[in-house]
Each structure stands twice: as structure tokens, then as C-alpha cells.
Chain A
Amino acid sequence: MTIAPASILPLRLDGVCYDAGGKRLVDGVSLAFAAGPRTLILGPNGAGKSLLLRLAHGLLAPTAGLVLWQGPDARNAGRHQAMVFQRPVMLRRSAAANIDYALRLRGVPRDSRRPRVEEALERAGLERFAGTPARALSIGEQQRLALARAWATLPQVLFLDEPTASLDPAATWAVEGIIDAIHRAGTKIVMTTHDLAQARRLADDIVFLNHGRVVEQGTAERFFASPRTPEAAAFIAGTLRW
């Protein structure tokens, strides 16, 4: 059996700001992400959810503030996290080769890649598309493949940017099932959504973002039962204006 590697978590954001086009788009965000509970970042369109995920994942450098991995294995933070983007990015190769590619970049030897690719495809219900060019798949299938690809690398933290935004209910259900399985397998899920129902289904913790600021954070139970701010209450009631 493999020994569980040392964790890169917790992750702390400390006063993180991000400016572009002369505007402050992410404004003084301080948050802590611990291993375990699923954190959902909730907020309306343009709140800064995608930017925040990119900052946390290291794709964007904050204008001010710090992104700190504080676990014992923080040094290797890069190789123990993965992200699935709002619009899936598929390499111009088969579904299986897309997953194989990710494993190769993580230094997984050829012999062990094959079974892991097959397993990942199977978990996402995509076995019969193994040889299909990834970009010929439907958006829903591509989204599942993106999840399978991220999962195959066995990340400790998985950032998901609205993974179901453009999917129909059946595909949404399938993707949520995969996310749930990844969570149960021990990966920390950090996911954005503007879908309240989805947040109720999946969230353990909620971060509510509006205009680039963290308006509220806490357990999902508390957030939905008794929001502390008028903005959060309005968002839950569906009457938030901007």
C-alpha cells in the first residue's frame, strides 16, 4: 500500500488583491482552506469567483497579499493540486491520451499510466470514448473528461470553476456524482458556483463573494439558515441586485 503523502494543506489567503484594467477586481480576500470539508465559493456573475480560484491555484499572481500553502509538504504544492476550468480545455488528442498526458507530466511511469487512465475514464463513465478525439465530445462529456483528467493525478486539492454551468440536469447530476466521489476519496474540493441549489447539495463550507470581496463565510448550514448580511440574504432570496 502507498503511504499517504504529507499534506500541502492548509492554504491561506492573506489580504489578497487583484487589479486589472485599472480596477480592483479582488479586494482584500483573507481565507483559510483546510483539508476535508468541501468549500463552495458562491456569488453572482462577475463577483470575482474565477479570479479567486486562479489566484489560489497560482495561475495569477496577486497584486497585493499572499497565497500561502502551509502544510508540511507545501514545497510541492504545485504538483498536488489540479483545476478544472469553467470552459474545459481539451488537447487535440483522444480522451484517453488527454488523461495520459496529465499523468506523464506528473512523472507517472508508463506502465502504471495505462491502468490509471482506464480507471479514470471508467469513473467518469467515459470508457466507450477512450479513443474518441476529446474535442469531438459534447460539452458535458468534455467536462466529465476534464474532471477525470484532474482526478487521475490524485490531487490533494481540486479547484473547480463552475463545472456544471453549461450542463443539462442529467449531466449536472453526473458531474456532481463524480465530484462527490473525488471528495470521498480524500481530495479537498474548492468549487465556485452561482447555483444556490447546487451549493445546498454540495457545500460543507460557504464563501460568499460579491464585488470581489468576501461578504460572508462559514458552514453551509449556518449560511443558508441565517445569513448575517443583507447581501447574502438577498442572494439566497434571489433578489440581489448589483
Chain B
Amino acid sequence: MHDIAAAFATSFGLILTLDQGLVEIVLRSLQVSLLAVGAAAIVGLPLGAAVALLRFPGRRAVAILLSSLMGLPPVVVGLIVYLLLSRAGPLGVLGLLFTPSAMVAAQFVLVTPIVAALARQVVEDLWAEYEEQLRSLGAGPRRAIATLLWDGRFSLMTALLAGFGRASAEVGAVMIVGGNIDHVTRVMTTAIALETSKGDLALALGLGLILIALSLLVNGAAFVVRDLARSGA
């Protein structure tokens, strides 16, 4: 009991003094997850919109696939990306395994289906409302997609926040492809997993608190965005 109280005290100390080790890990986590979500947005938003709007054979199957990929287990994604990037794998020549890039890649795979599936839903609903009006105004497919993405921006932002929440909280994928190497690939979740088992509860707790704060922030932002969307802006 005493140990835990001491650990809490130390962890607050680490946070308040902006402990260098802690800050480094937090920044790396943010960097990896933000890059992954950014890439997922670039691929996932147009992909979701395309599946919503284009009529091609197997469209429904793709929509279902995207939805089911939303729940991919991070460890499995980690394993697949590991196999792709490992020395003997097809992308082994890139030498990316156990680098932050590999972690970005793994989280990208994890998050893209989430962004794409949510974007498809948003765009499809909006299209049902807009289709005739946009066609009447003379919008071609490309213009229509851009319009739907822009007008659905608040809902789509919620999708990106959901993706970021998932990326920053997962541990399995980044652990496998990053390896939790100190000063290189250690992020909040892997550090918590490792330091806890090593007995350094203070650092683990400190990072845990920051992770919780981050999650609250993301959810709070999602609420704000939703309110903005309702206001009809």
C-alpha cells in the first residue's frame, strides 16, 4: 500500500517537473499516432467516400470488410506488419523493423479501416440527402466527393479522433514492430507494459495518468465537434 502511494507521489513529481524521460516517451507516442492517423486520413477518407459513392461490383462486400476490419486485434496487425518488414519479408530491404516508422505503419493499418468505415457511413448518409441537389447544380463525381467530405467534416473529424484514440491506446502492434527500445521506439503503452513488469511503478503510473488525460481530451474534443456539427455550421 505504501509502495503504491509512493509511486503515485513520484509519478506526479515526474509529470510536474516534466521529467525528460517521460516527456520524450510522450512526444514519441504522439508523433507516431498522429502520423499514423494523418496517413490513415489521407487514405481512409477518400476510400470511404469512394465506397459510399461509386457503384462497382463487390461494393457491399468491401463495405462489410471495412467494418469488420475496424476491430482488428492489434497484436495480429503487429504480427503481419512484422512479417512484412522482417529481414526475410517482402519489405525487409527497407530496414524499417524496430523503428518508429514501423510503428506508424502498424498503427496506420489498424486505424485506416476505422477511418474508412466511419467515413463511408457519414458520406453515404450525406449523399442520400445531397445527391439530387448536387446533380442539379452540375457537380461531377470528383466535386461531389470533395463537397461531401467538406460538409461532413465534423462527423469525419470524430472518425479521426476515434482512430487517434485507438492508435494511442494500443500496445500490441507497436510492441511487436517497435520492440520498446529505449530512446528509439519506446512509447507510452509499451513503457507502461514494460516498466510495470520491471517494478518501476512511478513511470508507468505517470504515463498511465497522461494516457488517461489524453483519452479524456480526445473524447472531449469529439463532443465539441459533435456540437459544432449540430449547430449546422
Chain B residues, CB < 8 A from A93: 151, 233
B113-136 at interface with A (beta carbon < 8 Å): 129-130, 132-133, 135-136
From 181 to 232 in chain A, residues with beta carbon under 8 angstroms from any chain B beta carbon are: none
Chain B residues with Cβ under 8 A from A78's Cβ? Answer: 138
Which of A10-18, A19-27, A41-49, A133-141 participates in binding chain B?
A133-141
- Chain B binding surface, main DSSP class: helix
Interface size classification for chain A: 20 to 34
Q: Contact: B135 with A59, CB < 8 Å?
A: yes
Q: A59-B135, A105-B138 are in contact. Are A133 and B233 (CB under 8 A)?
A: yes
* Residues on the A chain within 8 Å of B229, using CB: 92
Asked if B136 and A82 make an inter-chain contact with CB atoms under 8 angstroms apart, the answer reads yes
Residues of A within 8 A of B138 (CB): 78-79, 105-106
Q: What is the distance, in angstroms, from B19's C-beta to the closest C-beta of chain A? A: 44
Interface string of B131-145 (1 = CB under 8 A from A): 011011111000100
Tell me the minimal C-beta distance from B122 to chain A in angstroms.
12
Contact B139 A105 (CB under 8 A): yes
Picked from B136, B147, B151, the residue with its CB within 8 Å of the CB of A57 is B136
Q: Which of A83, A91, A134, A136 has the most CB of B within 10 A?
A: A91
Cβ A89 vs Cβ B129 within 8 A: yes
Closest A residue by C-beta to B126: A92
Query: With contacts defined as CB atoms under 8 Å apart, how many contacts are there between chain A and chain B in the complex?
Result: 44
* One of A89, A106, A153 near B133 (C-beta < 8 A): A89
Asked if B231 and A136 sit within 8 Å, CB to CB, the answer is yes
Nearest CB on B from A163, distance (A): 14
List chain B residues, Cβ under 8 A from A136. 231-232
Q: Which residue of A lies closest to B152 (CB)?
A: A92
CA A136 to CA B233, docked complex, whole Å: 8
List chain B positions with a Cβ less than 8 A from chain A: 129-130, 132-133, 135-139, 143, 147, 151-152, 229, 231-233
Residues of A within 8 A of B (CB): 54, 57, 59, 78-79, 82-83, 85, 89, 91-93, 101-102, 105-106, 133-136, 153
Q: Give 3 closest A-B pairs by Cβ, nearest first.
A: A135-B232, A89-B133, A133-B232
15 cross-chain CB contacts under 8 A: A57-B136, A82-B136, A83-B132, A83-B136, A89-B129, A89-B130, A92-B229, A93-B233, A102-B137, A105-B138, A105-B143, A106-B137, A106-B138, A135-B232, A153-B137
